[in-house]
Amino acid sequence: MQDNVLKEAESKMRKTVSVLEHDLSGIRTGRASPALLENIRIDYYGTPTPLNQVAGVSAPEARLLVIQPWDRTTLPVIEKAILKSELGLTPSNDGNVIRLVVPILSEERRRDLVKVVRKRVEAGKVAIRNVRRDIIDQLKGLEKDKKISADIHQQAQERLQKLTDAFIAEVGKVGQAKEDELLEV
């Protein structure tokens, strides 16, 4: 019984780490990558739609992204969405495609992006702690319903804490790797 609950906790914590990794991939590091635009949504005929569903995004050069919409009428909407995003990029529209030149990051911008990374890492740690809290509540409920004994509850809680510590350390490593990548000149 408690093993299933702990497996559920591990699954949720692993999912939190993968979401954080995906989220951090959208923070630019001075290199052009289509992943930078994954979180951008545009208003496509009244529906918020991911950019990659209305346009092709490619990186033909190390510092250039090219967005080619399938419907040219969306060019101004895509431009506005990019300007509103926290990427700090200025789109260049030639009527057919939008070009985004990814400038070399200044030291100040690098520091700002590190702060953003730290915020997101802390949010990931909070999410893992919330999973732990929910699982502890489930274990208490199992003990209250006499489905597990107090000793088993205590053992499960200790295993849960070790699991939580391991995943918080993993989140820290992911965040540190992204910070190192950002500060690399």
pLDDT, residue 5, reads: 86
* Amino acid identity for residue 3 in this structure: D
H-only helix segments in the chain:
2-25, 75-84, 107-144, 150-183
pTM reported for the whole predicted model? 0.70
- Helix H or strand E segment including 79: helix 75-84
Mean pLDDT of the chain: 87
Among 2-16, 22-36, 163-177, the least confident range: 22-36
pLDDT at 51 over 80: yes
- For 156-167, the pLDDT digits (tens) are 899 999 999 999
Domain residue ranges of the chain, discontinuous segments joined by +: 2-25+106-183, 34-101
Q: Tell me how far apart the alpha carbons of residues 160 and 12 are, in angstroms, rounded to a whole number.
A: 12
- For 52-111, the pLDDT digits (tens) are 888 998 888 878 889 999 888 888 888 988 888 877 778 888 888 999 888 777 888 888
pLDDT, residue 71, reads: 86
pLDDT, residue 185, reads: 61
pLDDT, residue 111, reads: 87
- For 124-148, the pLDDT digits (tens) are 999 999 999 999 999 898 888 888 8
Give the architecture (CATH level 2) of 2-25+106-183.
Orthogonal Bundle (1.10)
One of 3.30.1960.10, 2.40.110.10, 3.30.1360.40, 3.30.750.24 is the CATH number of 34-101, namely 3.30.1360.40
Residue with tokens 């804490």: 161
pLDDT tier at 33 (50, 70, 90 boundaries)?
confident
Give the DSSP letter of residue 147: S
- Measure the CA dihedral 114/120/125/130, to 10°: 160
Q: Is 23 helix (H, G, I), strand (E, B) or coil?
A: helix
